Amino acid sequence: MSGGDAMLEVSNISRSFGGVRALGGLSLSVAQGSITGLIGPNGAGKTTMFGVISGFVAPDTGSVTYRGADITREPAHLRARRGIARTFQIVQPFAGLSVGENIAVGSYLRHAKPSEARARAEAVARRVGLGAMLDQPASALTVSGRKRLELARALATEPDLLLLDEVLAGLNPSEIRDILPVIHDIRASGVTILMIEHVMQAVMALCDDIFVMAQGRMIAEGKPDAVCRDPQVIEAYLGHGAAARMQEAGNA
């Protein structure tokens, strides 16, 4: 992927928390219109990276460029206005509000008029399969419902770049099957997606490009099938020497 058509360009980001170096100078880029995956074992720093991109974590060094503009120091709410939306790995519903009200907070970003914002929220709710739940309190939703609500709120801001932080985690296989077409449909509508995901079935099915992080570093990038065979990636997930053992097992 060349830099020319990159919508998002993250370069040389590092960030330490006390003595822990969570991000050690890493870069990634996301092409307009793509679905890009960000994978890696637990503790790799993926969510911190999302924080840097969405404005929740200030990096110590490096820069974030969105559509040619340097947004490294821009507050989160202004990035949302630019068209960058995110979901949270640990769902953050407005627990005291209804599902419809939750989503409307997102749609108010582009529609100041209450009737319009509510109509948009309703349309988004139907799109992610929450159409029947509009008047339910958000706290009454199941895990899968809450994940959908995260997605719906982010979508309601009408983003150009959508950051999905493990929207499939905690869902059972049939729920995952239900939600994959929704993500496909979002991309088809012209939204670029960067997703953190552990469910490899989904990553392989959805992503055009994949970046692999381990211990705060970018260890691989490329097309899904190539990344999966990368010895470094296998070792990061399965431990030192795993790639060699798999090779042997494969030859035997």
Partner 1 sequence: MKRSEWLFLVALLAALALVPLLASNLVINFLVTALIVALAALGWNILGGLGGQISFGHAAFFGTGAYVTELLQLRLGANAWAAAVAGIAAGALVGLAIGAAVFRARLRGSYFALVTLAFAEVLRILANALDVTGGASGLLLPLQPGAAHFQFDQRSVFAWIGIACVGAVLLLTRHMMNSRFGAHLAAVRENEDAARALGVDILATKLRAITLSAAITAAAGVFYVQYFLYLDANIGYGTWISIEALLAAIIGGVGTMAGPLIGALALHGLGELTRGFAGSITGIDLVIFGLLLVAAIAFAPAGIVGAWKRYVGGRRNA
- What are the residues binding partner 1 (CB under 8 A)? 54-56, 75-77, 80-81, 85-86, 88, 92-97, 101, 104-106, 108-109, 112, 114, 117, 153-154, 156-157
When the beta carbons of 102 and 144 are compared against partner 1, the nearer one is 102
Shortest Å distance, C-beta 66 to partner 1: 14
When the beta carbons of 139 and 232 are compared against partner 1, the nearer one is 139
Helix boundaries (H) for 90-163 = 99-107, 114-127, 143-156
Angle at 6 between CA 41 and CA 236, to 5 degrees: 15
Shortest Å distance, C-beta 86 to partner 1: 5
- Residue 125 carries which side chain, given as an amino acid letter? A
Maximum Cα interatomic distance, the chain, rounded to a whole number of Å = 67
- What's the count of helices (H) and strands (E) in the chain, helices before strands? 10, 10
Shortest Å distance, C-beta 191 to partner 1: 16
When the beta carbons of 75 and 131 are compared against partner 1, the nearer one is 75
When the beta carbons of 109 and 183 are compared against partner 1, the nearer one is 109
Shortest Å distance, C-beta 132 to partner 1: 20
Under 8 Å CB-to-CB from 84, ≥6 apart: which residues? 53, 54, 66, 159, 160, 161, 163
